[in-house]
Structure 1
Amino acid sequence: MLLLLITLCVIPLAALSFFFKGIKQSVLNYLELKKIPGPPISNIIFGSIPTLHTSRENIFQKLRQWARIYYPIYNISFLHKVITFLHTPEDCELIMSNPKHNTKSRIYNVLHPWLGTGLLTSTGSKWSTRRRILTPSFHFSILQQFVTVFNEETEQLVETFKKLCDQPFIDVTQHVTQFTLKTITETAMGTKLKFEDSREIEYKKAIFDMGEIVVYRLTYTWLVDKVVNMFRLGYLKERRVVNTLHRFTSRMIAEREKTFEEVQLPKETDEVYTTKRRLAMLDLLLSAKKKDNAIDDTGIREEVDTFTFEGHDTTSAALSFALMLIACNRSVQDQIVEEIEAVLGDVHKRPTYNDLQEMKYLERTVKEVLRLYPSVHMVSRKTGEEVVTGSGYVIPKNSIVLLQIYDIHHDPKIYPDPEKFDPDRFLPENSQNRHPFAYLPFSAGSRNCIGQRFAMLELKAAICGILANFVLHPVDTPETIVFVIDLILRTKEGIKVKFVPRNF
């Protein structure tokens, strides 16, 4: 009895001690972070956040303004939380190069209903296991097969533009987004979608609806919290949209599994890798499930959904910006076409994997597009240990940091005349002394984008096919587009380009 009484007393006391210790640490962390400069607090409860409750384009501009005023570091507060913004390659390296900071911050919670904890949002051993399973998907011998998909879908995109090119301009965003969605579903799921039947149309609409939901929750910061989000009026719609997405993906996985053939995962040293049919990323996930039970059905769905999200939206944004910039810079456009002719002989020939690798000027052009307009313009992490920044400020463990890639790419100290479009910035002699974390379109460190070679090949193949058939003329320009805050760099309206049939 005495032992029971002691236990009943000790456990609550220990719990209280742990609770107050946590509160004390949170206060100490908050006080440490408040030493970092930042915009004035506009509300005693909500801190600086009310300043950002404005239009999405104003939020984007406000963040750029604060980056200039408070460079190289600032913070904004919300209740007891503080978010620290970093704007230098040196500080980004402190975060990205240290595996202790690999955990994504709670900002990414808005993606959990759809993506679960797939490669984008997971951490620790789960993330490393999934990374190991999926890395072979981007072996060069598999990418060679994917190039065939890129070329086939590019031809369909070109046909769409041919039907519309008599118009004063084409808003490319919608068409390019459908193109990238088709390529990623075929390469990820092995499913060729035409978006003609009701299930496919419903799936495409659900993806776009989910994008709007994510942006809405990010704009109203308190909705990032899962519990708070459950009480908003649009929560039931979110559940319906997520169910539609999961139902479609699960059906595609089940159909692929019926005809599944065991595959041997390629190694980086393999020179030849063949299979009886065109491989999809899903095949490697199914193989990992069958072989050693390294992933279950839910995990497979998480990764397929993650690739669909990451693989279509980011590439769509990049290709839309690329077409605009190429239209606005005729000399660059002409040099790309000359290179295509030199490599392919016939510009209408489908480029192979090796052909695309030879197109060095086109690659520099794409890199410059991604410098000016990085699709993933910011990355957020939770610190795994204390960080001392280059300017001497201390960021405690378990703090939220936001790495502002867009601002680094537009820093005049790193890129002179940063708004100028100049592919030659990426000539070896012009980039060899640049800080390795000064160019981050695909992030960096161990959590760098697993699909960056995939994305570069897709962008190059699409540009080849389009420029073989059209001369691009500017309608929208860098001066006329208006950016809005989003997980992906996005414009307020579409991107308009004039397409004129090319005669060879």
Structure 2
Amino acid sequence: MELLLLALSFGLRAFVFFVLPIVFFVLKTRKDPRIKKELEKFDGPVSLPLIGTSYRFIGKDSVALFNLITSEDLKNYGHIFRVWDLNSARLTIGKAKYAEKILQGTQHQTKSTNYKIFDSWLGQGLISSSGNIFVLQFLHRSIVDKKCDSGKKWQVNRKILAPAFHLTILQEFLHIINKNSSILVGKLQEFSDSNQPVNLFDPLSLCVFDIVCESSMGTTLNAQLQQESIYVKAVTELVRLLMQRFISPMLRNDFLYKFSSVKKRTEQAVKMVDVYTNKVIKERRNLLKNMATDCIKERGENIEVKRKNKAFIDTLLKAQDENESLMTDKDIRDQVNTFMAAGYDTVTTACCWVLFILGTYPEIQNKVVDELHQVFGSSGRAPTMSDLAELKYLERCIKETLRLYPSAPFFERQLREDVHFHDGRTAPAGVTASINLFILHRDPENFPDPEKFDPDRFLPENCVGRHPFSYIPFSAGPRNCIGFLQLLK
């Protein structure tokens, strides 16, 4: 009898610890039959049971992986194709007319579930928050659209933050950009004098850190002049770890991620970043209160504090004063962290590619230098906004660089309803639509000889007739880059 009970006990434990997880995994990785049926009309790699097409990533480093999902997939499957990450369906889009259907309206503002990867750092900031949240209930084979606070919060925050990106406000930051750029030029001169090769990403990133910190937080970081900033190291590590998880189907799985060393290192980096950001928020709030008190004493009236340099964080603190329920301390931290995340890596990457291109094509570099001499002469003065408007050729070089090497080469939307394409095929609700700019910007229909670097593609006369969604380095539609939108105005 004891032997029977022991056997039953062992069998029950085996069922709980081994059989149940397997059953749960099988249920979780079943493909939605409705989605599967629609996606069979699209080309794509062979999908295996349980793991989908994730097998393709095994043993590949980041470079090989990037080549796979851009040039190799384009050659094998064309400008629109489907893949499966376990049971999660993704439709990769690299054609303007398909991208327009996804991005042009308000129906598909929800970013994909992959963006939850950034929640630990960015929370409900503009990048990671959802336009509307919907829950895929795979076990019940239904899609439930649930309105939630996250969607409303994104819309409210976007409206609150818009004034901070007005052109007049951005113009006030020009002296911050000029000051830190001057320090960068001095550093680059030192590298030039040493006649040694240097990875430009490092000095450029420190310059961007200084600019973004001073303009967004109102604090002087001095990353270019001070070595080993804890905040800089933490943000740099955090970006690397989060992107490592973003491109890995295995690490994107929450269950597998819990057992990885990446999770622990990410939590440590987030903690260090939050300590610094919370400190800045507290100090800035106290500074604004003291300035307001001084104004009241001097003038005998409570007036809004006005300074020449109004930092991005001031807009958030003002919104909190007016309605704390709409802008908590965590909301402020999320938005400040988002501003840093959006500005640091993307701007640095873009600058590196521009310099790489100019070094690769000396004849284009000479034209840029000639234009700079025409505008500035030999004065050596700092540029103004009106000067920037005169640098037409440099602007075209930057645009063409972002065409070939977009700083954010992918962005995703979770489809809330079916999308019917012009060719009769349908992207079903529940699918992740992944806009692949590396493919889209190389479409020969809009950019003949697409691999050629040609700034004159962006001459006004050459842009006529080009599809409006053929070039979208700052995204498009309601959830495009808020800073770029204000500059267009």
Same fold, TM-score > 0.5, yes or no = yes
Aligned-partner SS, 1:299: helix
Residues 1:407 and 2:424 aligned together = no
Aligned-partner SS, 1:298: helix
> Match of 1:192, as an amino acid?
T
* Alignment gaps of 5+ in structure 1: 1-21, 264-272, 457-504
| C-alpha separation in 2, matches of 1:425 and 1:314 | 23
Deviations 1:388-438 (A, max 9, x none): 223332111121111111111112221111121111110000012110000
CA distance 1:331–1:282, change in 2 (3 Å): same
Aligned-partner SS, 2:473: coil
1:231 aligned partner:
259
Kindly indicate whether the alpha-carbon contact (under 8 Å) linking 1:107 and 1:224 is maintained by their aligned counterparts in 2: yes
Q: 1:38 aligns with which of 44, 47, 69?
A: 44
Structure-to-structure mapping, 1:158-237, within 5 angstroms: 158-166=185-193, 167-195=195-223, 201-237=229-265
1:484 aligned partner:
none
1:286 aligned partner:
317
Q: 1:104 aligns with which of 98, 111, 117?
A: 111
1:251 aligned partner:
279
| C-alpha separation in 1, matches of 2:366 and 2:432 | 45
| C-alpha separation in 2, matches of 1:367 and 1:453 | 16
2:335 aligned partner:
303
Kindly indicate whether the alpha-carbon contact (under 8 Å) linking 1:119 and 1:130 is maintained by their aligned counterparts in 2: yes
Kindly indicate whether the alpha-carbon contact (under 8 Å) linking 2:234 and 2:269 is maintained by their aligned counterparts in 1: yes
Shift of the alpha carbon at 1:34? 3.0
Q: 2:158 aligns with which of 131, 138, 161?
A: 131
1:501 aligned partner:
none
Shift of the alpha carbon at 1:234? 3.6
CA distance 1:198–1:315, change in 2 (3 Å): closer
CA distance 1:47–1:278, change in 2 (3 Å): same
> Match of 1:283, as an amino acid?
D
Residues 1:56 and 2:62 aligned together = yes
Shift of the alpha carbon at 1:176? 0.8
2:3 aligned partner:
none
Deviations 1:350-380 (A, max 9, x none): 0112211222221111111111111111111
1:315 aligned partner:
347
> Match of 2:43, as an amino acid?
P
1:375 aligned partner:
407
Structure-to-structure mapping, 1:373-452, within 5 angstroms: 373-452=405-484
> Match of 1:223, as an amino acid?
L
> Match of 1:393, as an amino acid?
R
Q: 1:82 aligns with which of 89, 109, 118?
A: 89
CA distance 1:146–1:165, change in 2 (3 Å): same
Moved more, 381-390 or 318-327: 381-390
Aligned-partner SS, 2:261: coil
| C-alpha separation in 2, matches of 1:419 and 1:28 | 38
| Segments of 4+ moved more than 4 angstroms | 22-25, 196-200, 453-456
Kindly indicate whether the alpha-carbon contact (under 8 Å) linking 1:194 and 1:200 is maintained by their aligned counterparts in 2: no
Shift of the alpha carbon at 1:331? 2.6
CA distance 1:230–1:199, change in 2 (3 Å): farther
Shift of the alpha carbon at 1:455? 9.4
Shift of the alpha carbon at 1:47? 1.7
Shift of the alpha carbon at 1:68? 2.3
| C-alpha separation in 2, matches of 1:23 and 1:427 | 49
Computing the radius of gyration over CA atoms, which structure comes out larger, 1 or 2? 2
Kindly indicate whether the alpha-carbon contact (under 8 Å) linking 1:341 and 1:347 is maintained by their aligned counterparts in 2: no
Aligned-partner SS, 1:381: strand
RMSD: 2.5
Aligned-partner SS, 1:82: strand
What is the aligned length?
425
Q: 1:26 aligns with which of 32, 41, 46?
A: 32
Residues 1:68 and 2:96 aligned together = no
| C-alpha separation in 1, matches of 2:262 and 2:476 | 36
Aligned-partner SS, 1:451: helix
* Alignment gaps of 5+ in structure 2: 1-27, 131-150, 293-303
> Match of 2:165, as an amino acid?
F
Aligned-partner SS, 1:99: coil
| C-alpha separation in 2, matches of 1:58 and 1:144 | 41
